[in-house]
Amino acid sequence: MKANLPETQLEAWRKYYVSFWRVFAAIEADLAAASLPSLSWYDALYQLYLAPERRLRMSALAQGALLSRSGLTRLVDKLEKEKLIERQACPADGRVQHAQLTAKGVELLRKIWPVYRTGIAKYFAPHVSDAEAKEIAAVFGRIVSAAETAAGGAE
Amino acid sequence: MKANLPETQLEAWRKYYVSFWRVFAAIEADLAAASLPSLSWYDALYQLYLAPERRLRMSALAQGALLSRSGLTRLVDKLEKEKLIERQACPADGRVQHAQLTAKGVELLRKIWPVYRTGIAKYFAPHVSDAEAKEIAAVFGRIVSAAETAAGGAE
DNA sequence: GGATATTAGTTGCATACACAACTAAAATGG
DNA sequence: CCATTTTAGTTGTGTATGCAACTAATATCC
C-alpha cells in the first residue's frame, strides 16, 4: 500500500481507465446497433456456460458477473422472463437458488459472441501485439487475483 | 478489423475487462467509505482543472469526463448546486455554456485525490512493474487515441 | 436576407444498478 | 431442541446514466 505513486504508474492507470471506458462504450454501442443485449447479459450467461452443468448459485453468479447480489436478482429476473435461464431451488438447502442456462440461453450467447468478438478485434486487439497481450494478461491476471482474494471470495 | 481473434488477445481482453471492474469497484468503495463523491465527479472536476483557465464547454467536458451530453448536463447541475463549478454563458455564441471550476471545486479535488491515489496504489500499482507500466501506458494510449479519432473528436 | 440545416445544450423518459432492510432457511450452541 | 446468529436471496428505494425528442441559437445556401 505504498502511498507514493510514481508518475509512470499513474500514467498507466490513466490510460487504462480511459481506454476501458472508450472501448467498453464502443462495444456496447455495436451490440445495441445489432439489437443485442448488453455485456452484462453476456457476462452472466457466459459464466453459466462455463460452469459445470451450466448452472451456478446466485451468489457465485453475482461474483462472476461482476454484480451485487441485488443487481443479480434483477438481472436473473429478466433473463428468466426471456427463458434464457431457469431458477432452480436447491433441494439440499432451501435458501439457495441455482440459475440454469437453457438451450435458448446458449443460442443467444452464440448470437452475441460474433458481435462482441468483432468489437474486441476492432477496438482492442489491433493495438496490442502478441507479446503485449501476454504481458497484459499476466499483469491484469495478478490484479484480478489480488482483488478477488481481497474481496474474501476465492471462488 | 480482423475477425479472427487469437486466444492470446482474447485472454488479455478478459483480464483487462475483469480487472477493471474489480479495481474500479474497490476504489469507488473507498471513496464512498470516506464520504467522498464518486469518480465521475472527480473526472469532471479534474478535466476542468487541467483546462486553460479551468473552464471548458459542456460538450468538451462531456468528452473528457466520459459522459453523454445529457449525462453531463445532469452532473453539471449537481456540481453547480454544490458550488464546485459555475455555468457561464458564452458571449460569442449563445448556444454555448462553459463550466468554470471554482475554488471550492479545486478544494474538493484535493480532498478526493489522496483517497483516489491510495486506491490506485493499493489495487493497481503493486501488481505492475515499472517496465510494465510504461508498456501499459503505451498500449492503452494507442487504444485511447484510436477510439477518440474514431469517435470523430480529436480534442 | 429569409428558409433550411446544423449545432449546443437541456429535458422526458426508461433502465440498470447499488445499498439497506427484509424474509426465510440453516447453522450454532447452551 | 429452542434461541440466537448467520447466510442466501429478494424487495424498497434512490441515483446515475443514456437515448430520443425538444428548444434555442448559429451557419448555410439560394
Please give chain B's pLDDT, 155 residues, in tens: 446 889 999 999 999 999 999 999 999 999 999 999 999 999 999 999 999 999 999 999 999 999 999 999 999 999 999 999 999 999 999 999 999 999 999 999 999 999 999 999 999 999 999 999 999 999 999 999 998 776 554 43
Helix (H, G, I), strand (E, B) or coil at B87: strand
**Are B137 and A13 a contacting pair, CB within 8 Å?**
no
SS (H, E, C) chain A: CCCCCCHHHHHHHHHHHHHHHHHHHHHHHHHHHCCCCCHHHHHHHHHHHHCHHHEEEHHHHHHHCCCCHHHHHHHHHHHHHCCCEEEEECCCCCCCEEEEECHHHHHHHHHHHHHHHHHHHHHCHHHCCHHHHHHHHHHHHHHHHHHHHHCCCCC
The long-range contacts involving B140-143, CB below 8 angstroms and separated by at least 24 positions, are B140/A12, B140/A15, B140/A16, B140/A18, B140/A19, B141/A15, B141/A19, B142/A127, B143/A15, B143/A19, B143/A22, B143/A23, B143/A123, B143/A124, B143/A127, B143/A128
Q: Which amino acid is at B128?
A: V
* Nearest chain A residue to B24, by CA: A17
pLDDT computed for residue B148 by the predictor: 79
pLDDT computed for residue A80 by the predictor: 97
pLDDT computed for residue B4 by the predictor: 80
Per the CB < 8 Å rule, is A136 touching B139?
yes
Cell of B57: 464547454
Footprint of strand C on the protein (CB under 7 A): A 38, 40, 66-72, 74-75, 78, 93-95; B 29, 32, 57-59, 69-70, 72-74, 76-77, 87, 93, 95-98
Task: Give dist(CA B74, CA B102) in Å, integer.
Answer: 18
DSSP letter for B67, please.
-
Of A11, A23, A146, the CB nearest to B127: A146
pLDDT tens across the length of chain A (155 residues): 546 889 999 999 999 999 999 999 999 999 999 999 999 999 999 999 999 999 999 999 999 999 999 999 999 999 999 999 999 999 999 999 999 999 999 999 999 999 999 999 999 999 999 999 999 999 999 999 998 776 654 43
Q: For the domain B21-125, what is the CATH code?
A: 1.10.10.10
In angstroms, the CA of A108 and the C1' of D2 are apart by 50
pLDDT computed for residue A154 by the predictor: 40
pLDDT computed for residue A75 by the predictor: 98
In angstroms, the CA of A32 and the C1' of D22 are apart by 24
CATH 3.40.50.2300, domain A21-148, yes or no: no
In angstroms, the CA of B64 and the C1' of D25 are apart by 24
**Are B65 and B48 a contacting pair, CB within 8 Å?**
no
pLDDT computed for residue A4 by the predictor: 80
Which residues, listed in sequence order, are joined to residue A88 by a DSSP beta bridge? A98
Per the CB < 8 Å rule, is B22 touching A143?
yes
Q: Which residues of B touch A64 (CB under 8 A)?
A: none
Which residues, listed in sequence order, are joined to residue A108 by a DSSP beta bridge? none
pLDDT computed for residue B155 by the predictor: 36
B52-74 residue pLDDT tens: 999 999 999 999 999 999 999 99
